Amino acid sequence: MPSILTSPNGNSIILIPRSGSHSIAMAMLQSFYPDIEITDPYHPAYFYPISQDNGQKCVIVRNPIERFRSMVSHRNRTVEEQLENPIYGCEFCHITNYDRAFLFETQLQDCANWLGITVPLPHLDASENKPVLTTEQENRVREIYATDIELWESLMNT
């Protein structure tokens, strides 16, 4: 699956799991490649044509604690299993090559507009029955995702 999708306007998005990537990828397909038919349950980005990402890149930043809770629910794992071996680790420990960040909680539509998406954003692949974390578990999440939390908090304060 491509981890970067580029829109016809030259702007690209670096996909971050459990941060609206299904919805954004589907809306990009519907807007820019409406003839592509999705025939199986894979992530919509699997069907997106590969293109050059020579323009600006963005990311969507979600509250890392909520993102963690969503991961646990989505993967049918216990909190302890996810803490011992995170499926998705600290994203922004590795991703630094972006020009713009949008908040998942309040700026998904802004991101869609920036990418040139012309259809309404669908609400896809939402997790249900997210676990409630104990104080100890939340503290551990804060340790694992410290860089992500720092970025998310900095964006919340701007």
Least confident of 6-10, 111-115, 123-127: 123-127
Least confident of 2-16, 18-32, 44-58, 108-122: 44-58
What is the pLDDT at residue 3? 85
In angstroms, how far is the first alpha carbon of the chain from the final one?
Answer: 33
Total number of domains constituting the chain: 1
Sheet holding 57-61, edge to edge: 4-6, 12-14, 57-61, 100-103
pLDDT in tens, 24-48: 999 999 999 999 888 777 788 888 8
pLDDT at residue 1 greater than cutoff 60: no
**CB proximity list for 62: less than 8 A, separation 6 or greater:** 16, 18, 19, 20, 103, 104, 105, 152
What is the pLDDT at residue 66? 93
Residue ranges making up the domain that contains 93: 4-156
Kindly state the average pLDDT of the residues 71-97: 81
